[in-house]
Amino acid sequence: MTQHVTVRLSSGAIRGRRLDGHLSFRGIPYAAAPVGERRWRPPAPVTPWSEVRDATAPGNPAPQLAQSFADVTAVDEDCLTLDVTVPEAPGTGRPVMVWLHGGGGTNGTAATYDPQRLAVTGDVVVVAPNFRLGVLACFGHPGLADGGTFGLQDQQAVLRWVQREIARFGGDPENVTLFGESYGALMVAAHLVAPASAGLFHRAILQSAFAVMGSTPAHTFIPGVPALAPSWIPAAELDWLGAATAAEHGWVTPGSDPESALAQLRRVPVADLLQASAAFIRPAFGGPTLPESPEEALPAGRFHRIPLMLGTTRDEARFFVGLFADLAGNPVTAESYSRLLAEAFGAAAEEIAARYALDRFPTPSLAWAQLCTDRAWARPAWELGRVFATYTDTWFYEFADRDAPPIVPLPGFPAGAQHSSELVYQFDFPGGPSLSAAQRALADRMNRYWTAFATNGDPACADLPAWPDAGTGHVQSLAPGRIGGTDYVAEHGLDFWAHMP
**Tens digit of pLDDT for each residue in 85-126?**
999 999 999 999 999 999 999 999 999 999 999 999 999 999
∠ CA(425), CA(320), CA(118), 5° rounding?
A: 15
Q: How many CB atoms lie within 10 A of CB 300?
A: 10
Asked whether 213 and 306 are in contact (CB, 8 A), the reply is no
* Burial category of 311 from C-beta neighbours within 10 Å (exposed 0-12, middle 13-18, buried 19 and up): buried
Q: Which amino acid is at 73?
A: T
**Contact call for residues 2 and 17 (beta carbons, < 8 A):** yes
- pLDDT tens readout for residues 191-202: 999 999 999 999
Specify the DSSP element, H or E, that contains 306: none
Q: How far is CA 46 from CA 25, 30, 394, in A?
A: 17, 7, 37
Is 182 tagged catalytic? Answer: yes
φ, ψ for residue 365, nearest 5 deg: -65, -40
Query: Which residues contact residue 8 at a Cβ distance below 8 angstroms, ignoring those fewer than 6 apart?
Result: 14, 168
How close are the terminal C-alpha atoms of the chain, in Å? 61
Report the amino acid identity of residue 102.
G
Angle of helix 183-193 relative to helix 150-165, nearest 10 degrees?
Answer: 70
**Is the pLDDT assigned to residue 2 strictly greater than 80?**
no
| Catalytic hit among 419, 421, 477, 492 | 419
pLDDT band at 470 (very low <50, low <70, confident <90, very high): very high
68 pLDDT band, cuts 50/70/90, is confident
Exactly one of 77, 165, 316, 398 is catalytic; which is it? 316
As a whole number of angstroms, the distance between CA 402 and CA 335 comes to 28
Are residues 82 and 155 in contact, defined by beta-carbon separation less than 8 angstroms?
no
Let me know if 292 is a catalytic residue.
no
3-state secondary structure of 353: helix
**Residue 10 — pLDDT band, cuts 50, 70, 90?**
very high
| Catalytic choice (24, 182, 365, 420) | 182
- Distance, CA of 278 to CA of 241 (rounded, Å): 12
Q: Is 143 left (phi over 0), alpha (psi -120 to 50) or beta?
A: left
Higher pLDDT, 197 or 432: 197
Asked if 188 and 311 count as a contact pair (C-beta separation under 8 A), the reply is no
Q: Which helix (H) or strand (E) holds 153?
A: helix 150-165
Give the amino acid at 56. Answer: T
pLDDT one-digit tens code per residue, 373-413: 999 999 999 999 999 999 999 999 999 999 999 989 999 99
Using CA atoms, how far apart are residues 490 and 496, in angstroms rounded to an integer? 9
Strand boundaries in 182-283, DSSP class E: 203-207, 233-234
pLDDT at position 80 is 98
Residue 382 CA to residue 197 CA, distance in Å, equals: 25
Predicted local distance difference test score (pLDDT) of residue 71: 85
Position 1 pLDDT exceeds 90:
no
The structure's pTM equals: 0.98
Whether the CB-CB separation of 288 and 146 falls below 8 Å is answered with yes
